[in-house]
Amino acid sequence: MHYLVAIPIFNEADTVNGVLRQVRRYATDILVVDDGSTDDTPKRLDAESGISRIRHVDNRGYGQSLIDAFGFAIQAGYDWLITIDCDEQHEPARIPAFLAAATRDDADIISGSRYLRDRVVNSQPPPDRRAINQKITEVLNRTLGLGITDAFCGFKAYRICALKRLNLTVPGYAMPLQLWVQAARQGLRIREIPVRLIYKNLNRQFGGTLDDPDARLLYYHEVLVHEMGAQLRGLMPVGPNRFRECTCSFCD
């Protein structure tokens, strides 16, 4: 299996080298997407050899960093892409579990969940984050029939041929909502595996108006409603037209 691990980063000078050191234990192909960091992150990355880098000249958003990682993995011809955050909330030691799930060939998106019943409790999230996650997850399950438990975990594995069927454009933190809607419409197979719930910095912020929980929830709802409306109107091409050049068995 030819796979890439991608790490979106914004101002992670304190953690980036340690996270990369751990990721290197499980992956040889690593991409870092630096979303316009203004701290010492670029200098820390300069000390890292053997990794691919995308550098945004300004901060374009978490969603855009992932979208760029998706495009890189597609263009490079990987089979799978694993995404992992750089704030030490995700354990690189779980990468083999994602790879093992990928080899079962029963999923196109393997999503980490911090809220499965067999998870190991390590810490508690900020109450507003947990409440918003629960509300959005319930809406997704009710409207799309996904049956997931964690709408916002960034620790995921994606089948590249499945990513080719999506048209993701939301640059901010609500991009996963667009992804879930399009994945459901495309009939992608979704599976969750447990990951540990780790919050080392309870004061970490989203930035701007999104630091207000009510504004953040409203933003998520607006993106979700807009994307569902777009899908109902058939604004996104579906079917094999989006990935004609792929010759793998999944796309045949």
Measured between alpha carbons, how far is 174 from 186 in angstroms, rounded to an integer?
Answer: 19
Task: Indicate whether 250 belongs to any domain.
Answer: no
Residue reference for tokens 């399950």: 141
Task: Indicate whether 103 belongs to any domain.
Answer: yes
Taking the model in full, what pTM does it have?
0.87
CA atoms within 13 A on the CB side of 84: 27
Q: What is the pLDDT of residues 44-53, one digit of tens each?
A: 999 999 999 9
Task: Indicate whether 164 belongs to any domain.
Answer: yes
Average pLDDT value for the chain: 88
Burial of 152 (0-12, 13-18, 19+ CB in 10 A): middle
Burial of 97 (0-12, 13-18, 19+ CB in 10 A): middle
Task: Work out how many domains the chain is built from and give that number.
Answer: 1
Task: Indicate whether 248 belongs to any domain.
Answer: no
Burial of 91 (0-12, 13-18, 19+ CB in 10 A): middle
Task: Indicate whether 249 belongs to any domain.
Answer: no
Burial of 170 (0-12, 13-18, 19+ CB in 10 A): buried
Question: Is residue 2 scored above 50 in pLDDT?
Answer: yes
Q: Looking at residues 230-235, what average pLDDT do you find?
A: 69
Q: What is the pLDDT of residues 19-36, one digit of tens each?
A: 999 999 999 999 999 999
Question: Is residue 242 scored above 60 in pLDDT?
Answer: no
CA distances from 243 to 66, 86, 239 (A): 19, 31, 8
Q: Is the Cα torsion angle 207, 158, 227, 194 positive or negative in sign?
A: negative
CA atoms within 13 A on the CB side of 215: 7
Residue 123, pLDDT score: 67
Q: What is the pLDDT of residues 85-130, one digit of tens each?
A: 999 899 999 999 999 999 998 999 999 999 986 545 556 777 888 8
Which range marks the domain in which residue 151 is found? 3-243
Question: What CATH number should be reported for the domain holding residue 93?
Answer: 3.90.550.10
Question: Is residue 183 scored above 90 in pLDDT?
Answer: yes
Edge to edge, what strands does the sheet with 30-34 contain? 52-55, 30-34, 3-9, 80-83, 156-159, 109-113, 190-194
Task: Indicate whether 153 belongs to any domain.
Answer: yes
**Residue 202 banded pLDDT, cuts 50, 70, 90:** low
Task: Indicate whether 96 belongs to any domain.
Answer: yes
Amino acid type, 120: V
Q: Assign 3-class secondary structure to the chain.
A: CCEEEEEEECCCCCCHHHHHHHHCCCCCCEEEEECCCCCCHHHHHHCCCCCEEEECCCCCCHHHHHHHHHHHHHHHCCCEEEECCCCCCCCHHHHHHHHHHHHCCCCCEEEEECCCCCCCECCCCCHHHHHHHHHHHHHHHHHHCCCCCCCCCCCEEEEHHHHCCCCCCCCCCCHHHHHHHHHHHCCCCEEEEECCECCCCCCCCCCHHHHCHHHHHHHHHHHHHHHHHHHHCCCCCCHHHHHCCCCCCCCC
Which of 67-71, 90-94, 139-143, 208-212 shows the lowest per-residue confidence on average (mean pLDDT)? 208-212
Task: Indicate whether 43 belongs to any domain.
Answer: yes
